[in-house]
Chains A and B, each alone.
Chain A
Amino acid sequence: MAETFNISNEPPVPVTGWLPAVALSWIIPGGGHFLLKQHYRGALLLGTITLTFVLGLMMRGAFFEPQTGDLLTTLIYWGGYIADMCSGVLYFLAVWMGYTQQDVAGHVHDYGTKFLVGAGLMNVLAMVDVFEIATRKKS
């Protein structure tokens, strides 16, 4: 479904106009929305992403580690590693506090791993949203 946005002839917003909000959005899920006075949406994103991440930890999901090999292995492991890191402070806190989990068989662990990656990917969507709000492509 195509979405249309109001694109005006205004000069482009400088990097300093959107970078702090996007960076804050990466570090703290929903933080960029709070910075841009979108408190309600920021709170919902913070709650949803944090809950997804915490449920992933509670299901003892594994964090991806960078690994190379054939193309698919490299894509999956590097992609998973980057997606995990996109959760920002949640990921760094978990690693800093010593959370480790081997990649073992079992559907609960597997779902946990997907929840952890999913939380990071949801935060990527939030970061893109913050970028579009900060550059006035959407309100």
Chain B
Amino acid sequence: MKLSLTHFEATLIFALFISVVLGIVTKKTDKERMTYGLSCFGRFIATIFGLAWLMKLGHG
């Protein structure tokens, strides 16, 4: 079975997993972990959209 994802789906899933792990390993309390994980995920999403627009505009 081969999974076929679009660029957006793949980066979204990857960002989600990385955010979960970063949240777990970096903070001390569950509340801090949740906040940091969500904050990381938000920043990943912003970066994904930012870079996507940059590439679109740069491509012409």
* Chains A and B bind each other: yes
Q: A residues engaging B (CB < 8 A)? A: 3, 41, 44-45, 48-49, 51-52, 55, 58-60, 107-108, 111, 114-115, 118, 122, 125-126, 128-129, 138-139
On chain A, the residues within 8 Å of B28 by CB distance are 138-139
| Contact indicator A48/B25 (Cβ below 8 Å) | no
- Ordered by A's residue number, 17 sampled pairs between the chains whose C-beta atoms are within 8 Å are A41-B24, A44-B20, A45-B24, A48-B20, A52-B17, A55-B13, A59-B10, A60-B2, A107-B7, A111-B10, A115-B14, A118-B14, A118-B17, A118-B18, A122-B17, A125-B21, A125-B25
Interface SS of B by simple majority: helix
| Contact indicator A58/B25 (Cβ below 8 Å) | no
Q: B residues engaging A (CB < 8 A)? A: 1-5, 7, 10, 13-14, 17-18, 20-22, 24-26, 28
| Contact indicator B17/A48 (Cβ below 8 Å) | yes
List 19 additional contacts besides A55-B13, A107-B10, A125-B21; criterion CB under 8 Å: A45-B21, A51-B17, A52-B14, A58-B2, A58-B3, A59-B3, A59-B5, A60-B2, A107-B7, A108-B2, A111-B10, A111-B14, A114-B14, A115-B10, A125-B22, A126-B24, A128-B25, A129-B24, A129-B25
